[in-house]
Structure 1
């Protein structure tokens, strides 16, 4: 396990980890055109000091300006970067947006967790049923998966963060009102979080159902949909997954498209 005291935050390393993760998804199932890279100087649509009522630090805003994003406005529907999970497309946000609405879109609401999410923490995902809240901490250098499935943590071979937020509060790392919601999270270093996601894809615990939808093997499915999920897993294995030296991405995508067509119509 990784000690929280041994971690640090780096904007450069965080951008690199997210970019590497999106490249991994493209190598497996996603269309390359869905990954949007920032122009030199960062996304001009993201204000350097944030939107009105957003209340995030300049470091958070600097990170959002430099990240690559998934194009969530492309047709026919939003793209999953993990099971049922829609990563926020911050660069597509209007300049005059209400920051409170943006936080409500990406974070557990204060009424839900009985406190405000701190200014140095930002949501990476659109938080709605079923897309989970996944948040990045630019002070501690960790990522929180709010109300993370126990099945995921049981099947995680990467190193999570040692200890728990109750100990962090005693050490003076976080205030008392921030303990409970963090205690409801799976917590990883930023680098290990994305390693963990990739590991679940390699095991096919995360199953891409076409180029935009991802399911996991733990959520109950109707018999017909479960059969499709198993068929897709078998197709990936047939085409060499997870051995990237053998994996035939295009042949796999074509066969998956045929396999999922009956229940999509």
Structure 2
């Protein structure tokens, strides 16, 4: 007996994941926020051509993410959260995978802190792009089909 799920009503046809499109969308979103009097353009950090060098499968092994997730977060732009924790939606903050908790030694679930939704088992092909505090939201990107979903703790 096999079961198939109905088509996802959010998209026409089969959804597709494209790393470059995700990177471009995040970059453009951050740049649009910098046009507002809130986020400094200098706080949008663009990765080097080969990606952030310290984001590797070995270093991030404890997070149990697949190769595609690591490649995506290695090449994403990030907001510098060291001077100011930018809120991009109510009680919702971008995760900086090159920042504090991720850039010293091996990454663990404990050092990753708020990047892992409490009490939720996140599949290896899904990556949280934001975290929520109080009433905020975790935006979760599925790298198998490019769809995102939200999780509130």
Aligned residues: 142
* 1:27 paired residue among 21, 35, 40: 35
Tell me what 1:53 maps to: 62
| Structure 2 residue matching 1:136: 3-state secondary structure | strand
Give the CA deviation at 1:40: 1.9
Stretches of 4+ aligned residues off by more than 6 angstroms: none
Question: Following TM superposition, by how much is the alpha carbon of 1:47 offset from its aligned partner in structure 2, in angstroms?
Answer: 1.6
Distance 1:68 1:18 in 2: 7
Q: 1:2 aligns with which of 1, 10, 16?
A: 10
What does residue 22 of structure 2 align with? 14
CA shift for structure 1 position 52? 3.7
Question: Larger % of helix: which?
Answer: 1
- State how far apart, in whole Å, the 2-side matches of 1:95 and 1:71 are: 16
Give 3-state SS (helix, strand or coil) of 1:28's partner.
coil
What residue number does 1:96 align with?
A: 105
TM-score by length of 1: 0.49
> Secondary structure in 2 aligned to 1:61?
helix
> What TM-score do the two structures reach when normalised by structure 2?
0.81
- 1:33 CA drift (Å): 1.0
* Structure with greater Cα Rg: 1
Which structure 2 residues correspond to residues 38-117 of structure 1 after superposition, within 5 A?
38-74=47-83, 77-92=84-99, 93-101=102-110, 105-109=114-118, 112-113=119-120, 116-117=121-122
Unaligned runs of 5+ in 1: 149-265
| C-alpha contact (below 8 Å) 1:72/1:78 kept by paired residues | yes
